[in-house]
Amino acid sequence: MGVLIQLAVIFGMLSLLAVGGGMAVLPEMQQLLARHFGIGHTEFVHVFSLGQLAPGPNMMMVLVFGYQIAGFAGAATVALSFLLPSGVLCLAAGRLWRRIGESPWRRAVQSALEPIAIGLMCSGVYAVGRAAIAGPVAAALALAGVALVLRTRVNPVFIVLGAGLLGAAVMHAGGWT
């Protein structure tokens, strides 16, 4: 029971701090999971990858951590505490906004949050990249990912799955990383 409460507190807090989406909280999540539950870099990256392969919001991968730490109850606790606090806030803010309407301060808050969200996303990419890029093959895969998403219109999931399979085959055949 204590573990479930701890999970609810951690992921509930992350939910409310996720400005600009889930990527923003990745570094903090990685640190908290390592400190409180001993989840290492590699495991974190693997679960992150599972999220990339799943349909719907990638960040639902958080429930995998919940499952690892406390089984089905852990998965449910993490999923709900990651969705509900920000969800309730959004519901309330949406209703308030419909009553107030356009205001110069709303514009200001939105413009102010945009660069912060981008900065946090950069930190999220950096945290995942640093943990995921362990050798030359992985570095080449990451560069291929950047190029494909910027230069082509291919659905990212096909890029991730296709290049991931190819990369795994190369690593397996050559024994590199």
CA atoms within 13 A of residue 27's CA, in its CB half-sphere: 12
| Choice between 9 and 16, CB closer to another protein | 16
Tell me how far apart the alpha carbons of residues 8 and 81 are, in angstroms, rounded to a whole number. Answer: 5
Q: Is 15 in the site for another protein (CB under 8 A)?
A: yes
Q: Is 40 in the site for another protein (CB under 8 A)?
A: no
Candidate residues 4, 37, 68, 73; the one interacting with another protein per rule CB under 8 A: 68
Candidate residues 3, 4, 116, 153; the one interacting with another protein per rule CB under 8 A: 116
Answer whether 123's CB lies under 8 Å from 22's CB. Answer: no
Nearest approach, Cβ of residue 44 and another protein (Å): 9
Q: Is 100 in the site for another protein (CB under 8 A)?
A: no
Tell me how far apart the alpha carbons of residues 56 and 50 are, in angstroms, rounded to a whole number. Answer: 12
| Choice between 5 and 31, CB closer to another protein | 31
In the chain, the largest separation of any two C-alpha atoms, in whole Å, equals: 62
Q: What does the angle CA 74 – CA 55 – CA 3 come to, to the nearest 5 degrees?
A: 10
Nearest approach, Cβ of residue 153 and another protein (Å): 12
